[in-house]
Structure formats: C-alpha cells, structure tokens
Amino acid sequence: MRILHLSDTHNQHNFLNDLPEVDLIIHSGDFSFAGTESEFRDFLKWFLNLNYQYKIFIGGNHDSFLEENSRKEIQSILPENCYYLRHSGIKIENLKFWGVPMFVSEDIDGSYFEQIKKIPADIDVLVSHHPPLGILDLDGKINFGCSELLHKTLEIKPKFHLFGHIHNAYGIEKSKSTTFINSSVLNGNYERTNPPILFEV
C-alpha cells in the first residue's frame, strides 16, 4: 500500500498541489491554527476532495474543535472511506492503524498518558501528533518528545510511527523494527518548506 503522510499544515493545506498518487493519505494533526469550526470545515472540504481511496486524520494541539467534540460526532459527518482516529483504530486491507491525538485537556487531566498505555500491541502503523522522546523531536537544543510514547512504541514495535508537532524536526529515522516519520509541512517559521512524505507498506 502506498501511503502519503503529512502533518502541521496550519490552514495552508489549499496550497498543496500536485500530490502524488497513493492509496491512503494520513494527516497527523494541526491542520488548523486557532482551532475553530470554520478552520475544520475548510480542511475537511479540501481533504475529502482529494482523490484517494482511503483517508485518515487525527487531532493536534491546535485542533480545539476536535477536542471539544467526540470521535463519534466527527465520524458521523465523514464518508465511509475517511476515518477520524481518537485513541482508536481502523483496519484497512489487513493493515492496522491506531491514532493518538494531542489535546491540552488530556495532558492536564492525565488521560493522555493512560490512553497511551492502551495502544494495542498488534498495530502496523501508529499515528500520533506528538513525537516519541529523542526521535525527530529536537528544536534548538531541546527534545520535546513524549517518553511514555517512546516506551510504548519500543514495546509494541509498529512497522511505522507517523507524527509531526515539532516543525524543525522533519525527516525519517529508522530503527531495527520501526520507521519513524515526522512529516511537518511547515518549518519553525510557519513556511511551507517540507513536502508530505510518501512510503509503502
């Protein structure tokens, strides 16, 4: 399966043209900036009009509209080939995907870390907004990744772990068991410098 991954477009999705032909597109969150419903609707219009067989997206820390509405409510307005993952998964053509959003409220009440513990062990592709600690998470001299997410990823060993959040850490890093991909489209100055990353599973 050919997969196109992108993250952190912050309302600049409409400028992304000539995207390659793939089977599935995945957005790892922060498609909006202020987190409003109108931003979400604009992103969704663009996302649903893309000519791909399957589509997956999750929420990032800027996507407050998703934070304020349940997964069931969001999924109810989506077509059958588009999946909103919020601490949930989907199986597509024998590949298992799991989505972990990054919402401020979950960080404050601690539920984010409890949900990380519940990520199933048989996931092929883990999609999060937050990077794991020490992997494509460096901005300046600080690693902004999540240690709990790192430990869980090392435990379950997905084939791919896709994320964004840290704009200046765009790239690919491979371990023996997992390929890590940070596909932040915007750099630290919110300029479109990085293309979405295509890979095959």
Tokens for 180? 């890590």
The total domain count for the chain is 1
pLDDT (mean) for 143-159: 97
CATH number at residue 146: 3.60.21.10
Report CA torsion sign: 160, 88, 82, 84. Answer: negative
For 20, the 3-state DSSP assignment is coil
Domain containing residue 93: 2-200
Q: Give tens-digit pLDDT for 125-144.
A: 999 999 999 999 999 999 99
Mean pLDDT of 40-60: 97
pLDDT band at 114 (very low <50, low <70, confident <90, very high): very high
Relative to beta strand 24-27, strand 2-6 is parallel
What pLDDT score does 50 carry?
97
The pLDDT value given to residue 200: 96
What tokens appear for 115 in the block?
Answer: 């949900």
Hey, is 42 helix, strand or coil?
A: helix
Rounded to 10 degrees, the C-alpha dihedral 46/48/53/59 comes to 90
Q: What pLDDT is recorded for position 36? A: 97
Average pLDDT, the chain: 97
Contacts of 153 by beta carbon, 8 Å cutoff, 6+ apart: 126, 132, 161, 178
